[in-house]
Structure 1
Amino acid sequence: MKKRFIYFIILAIIFLTSCENENKSTVNASEESIEPLNTTIVGGRVGGSWSVFAEGIAESIRRENEGAIITVEPGGIVENPLKVATGLVPYGLSYAMTSYAAYTGEEPYDQPYKDIRAVSVVIPGNYYQFVVSEDVPYHSFEEMAQQQAPIRLAVDQKGTAGEIITRKVLQEYGISYEDILSWGGSVDYLSGSKTFEMMADNRIDATGDAVSAPSSDIIEASTIMNLKILPLSEEVIQGVSEELDMNRGTIDKSSYSFLQEDVETVSTPAILIAHKDASMEEVYQITEAIYENLDYLRTVHSEFKNLSMENMMNVGNVPLHPGAEKFYREKGMLP
């Protein structure tokens, strides 16, 4: 009887040991099957501020996910929504206005790209700034139209965000590019740096684009020439905001030494977008990484200083990715 009891004890020990080893094997196999986060974000041109923004987001993800491999590739504001929507890359940066234009098939896109989803705001404010030489004989768009001023206007390449906004703003005031030409003016498609060089040489009078406030290009230009920024009227702000999915914005007079008062305008945030098929868990992790690294991001670029827990989900009208939506809901940022 005693021997039989000892025999059962030995069998029980063997059984329990076997179960424990099996559980350990299962856990180890499960741990080995979890691969580090590995993805790509498309940002801006090499050396530009948007490449810095994208790298800041990438590093935030790496900090929260050990072993994560996040590749940053060059891109552009208009191109990035197409790259994401067509699956060339899973994530990208763009304006909220251009992302929504791609989603709905509005200019400059030729069809709707419904596979775009929003993740988070990256840079809360990019303000439309219509900069003119102090020497021009008008102080508002209304005066420009009344005088039929022969304005020498520089805009970015046709179909870019800045060019579209400029054209829509002028249209709201009843001004077309053709009108400007008929008044004896000109419309040139130039890059920002080239524009300010020509303004300094008195070959260009005005330019418009949606950029940060303050903008380093405008600050630099103001050191060698006298400038002013024309405000937008209430009606124009409302019209452009509705048509282009933009927001009301105010450029604080402290942004530039030449401003005497705040400038009312329109604004759009830069946002991180994702393909709709990006996994919910991965997008959740990325959203969480941005949320947890706001202090770090503020050390990467001054433009991150206005990004906060309160505004990171203000992405405009592009639908949120379910992974981001889950995170914001858990944090009480969504009902």
Structure 2
Amino acid sequence: MKKSALFSSIALSVFLVGCGGDFGTTNEPSTSNESSGDGLETNIVTIATGGASGPYNILGTTMGEIYSTEFGINSRTQTTGASVENLNLMSQEKIEMAFVMSDALSQAINAEESFKEPIENVSQIANLYPNVVQIIAKKDSGIETIEDLVGKRVAVGDQNSGVELNARALLNGHGITYDDIQVDYLGYAEAADGLNAGTIDAAFLTSGLPNASVLELSETTGITLVSIESENVEEIAKEHPYFISYEIPAGTYGNEEPIKTAAVPNALVVRNDLSEDDVYKLTKAFFENLDKLANSHQAAKEITLEKAQEGLIAPLHPGAQRYYDEQK
């Protein structure tokens, strides 16, 4: 019996070692800020993006590939209704990183508009490229300025998305409410389909340049880019300081002249509870691969290390701060 007991004890020990077992260990990620090697403490980095054809999703997919390859983790994108949904998902700890517009981020932190309570589990990694308000209509529609949208069928983005939030603010800034237009809550691809089919008259598609859906429409259907005067943007910015004046360059969508409009800077955000070491590595890999991001979508050409800390809305994560401090 003693031999049998001894054999059983040895067999159990071998089994535990063979399975990587150890008394008191779990499969949960470590909460320590120290990480060995080039890997991350977390095994999953889900990046919330936006519509499938938008720059958020294209850039996020490239980032996921970079992180998966570099750190040996499962990093992927989650297609969403964009900024507001992304921030809510972050609050619920369902994602680790997200692209958001600065207007939605400001409202989330301050519990404004669609956010009933402040979202606190969010830090910023960087200020990115400007998200350009692109209001488009079919060519020869007679719609040339934002005031011409009154009485028209207008797609304003997915409901409570960053696109919809800034569409509403810009319309209100011109004395136009949703009662003055026929509202459709449509994402990029659906809005493009609606314009092509004639079920809507105009659409807000706020994103980096160029937007794939707008580009396709400009080549197949013919579009007009609706202008917003700079002085109007500057007036609206007194209440909504994240708006800036912007010009869509000539030739972006076959337009012969630059088109005046508004823009809102994009932000790359991360959950507060990710370790300093992990966020340092994620930030470092992001900036060291800007060439790959720019190859996937040209909007990333406007992302620079020099401007990454300008106009921050949320507190900078300590891991990102550590990376920036090293660059001085």
In structure 2, relative to structure 1, the CA distance for the partners of 1:46 and 1:224 (3 Å cut) is closer
CA distance in 2, matches of 1:190, 1:62: 32
Residue in structure 1 matched with residue 141 of structure 2 by the alignment: 136
Residue in structure 1 matched with residue 49 of structure 2 by the alignment: 44
Using the TM superposition, give the Cα deviation of residue 274 of structure 1 relative to its aligned residue in structure 2, in angstroms. 1.3
Residue in structure 2 matched with residue 225 of structure 1 by the alignment: 221
CA distance in 2, matches of 1:70, 1:269: 28
In structure 2, relative to structure 1, the CA distance for the partners of 1:188 and 1:87 (3 Å cut) is closer
- Picking from 103, 106, 114, the partner of 2:120 is 114
Two-structure CA RMSD over aligned residues (Å): 2.7
Superposition misfits of 4+ residues, deviation over 4 angstroms: 45-49
Using the TM superposition, give the Cα deviation of residue 315 of structure 1 relative to its aligned residue in structure 2, in angstroms. 5.8
TM-score, length of structure 1 as denominator length = 0.76
In structure 2, relative to structure 1, the CA distance for the partners of 1:139 and 1:155 (3 Å cut) is same
CA distance in 1, matches of 2:196, 2:64: 38
Query: Does residue 227 of structure 2 align to residue 247 of structure 1?
Result: no
Larger radius of gyration, structure 1 or 2? 1
Query: Does residue 73 of structure 2 align to residue 69 of structure 1?
Result: yes
Counterpart of 2:240 in 1: which secondary structure? helix
CA distance in 2, matches of 1:46, 1:251: 21
Matched letter for residue 152 of structure 2: I
- Picking from 177, 188, 194, the partner of 2:190 is 194
Matched letter for residue 101 of structure 1: Q
Instruction: Tell me if structure 2 keeps the 8 A contact 1:271–1:315.
Output: no
What percent of counterpart residues are identical? 23
Matched letter for residue 156 of structure 2: V
Residue in structure 1 matched with residue 60 of structure 2 by the alignment: 54
CA distance in 2, matches of 1:161, 1:47: 15
In structure 2, relative to structure 1, the CA distance for the partners of 1:188 and 1:45 (3 Å cut) is closer
Residue in structure 1 matched with residue 272 of structure 2 by the alignment: 276
In structure 2, relative to structure 1, the CA distance for the partners of 1:81 and 1:201 (3 Å cut) is closer
Matched letter for residue 176 of structure 1: T
- Picking from 305, 310, 323, the partner of 1:309 is 305
Residue in structure 1 matched with residue 102 of structure 2 by the alignment: 96
CA distance in 1, matches of 2:153, 2:307: 38
Matched letter for residue 71 of structure 1: S
CA-to-partner distance for each residue in 1:51-106, whole Å, 9 max, x for gaps? 4322322343456x5x4314224142222212223333332222232222212212
In structure 2, relative to structure 1, the CA distance for the partners of 1:121 and 1:72 (3 Å cut) is farther
Unaligned runs of 5+ in 2: 1-34
Matched letter for residue 213 of structure 2: D
Residue in structure 1 matched with residue 284 of structure 2 by the alignment: 288
Residue in structure 2 matched with residue 160 of structure 1 by the alignment: 161
CA distance in 2, matches of 1:92, 1:291: 16
CA distance in 1, matches of 2:187, 2:99: 20
TM-score, length of structure 2 as denominator length = 0.77
Using the TM superposition, give the Cα deviation of residue 262 of structure 1 relative to its aligned residue in structure 2, in angstroms. 1.2
Instruction: Tell me if structure 2 keeps the 8 A contact 1:103–1:115.
Output: no
Using the TM superposition, give the Cα deviation of residue 268 of structure 1 relative to its aligned residue in structure 2, in angstroms. 2.6
Residue in structure 2 matched with residue 266 of structure 1 by the alignment: 262
Instruction: Tell me if structure 1 keeps the 8 A contact 2:53–2:189.
Output: no
Using the TM superposition, give the Cα deviation of residue 128 of structure 1 relative to its aligned residue in structure 2, in angstroms. 0.4
Unaligned runs of 5+ in 1: 1-32, 181-185
Counterpart of 1:223 in 2: which secondary structure? helix
Residue in structure 2 matched with residue 85 of structure 1 by the alignment: 91
Instruction: Tell me if structure 2 keeps the 8 A contact 1:245–1:316.
Output: no
Count matched residues. 288
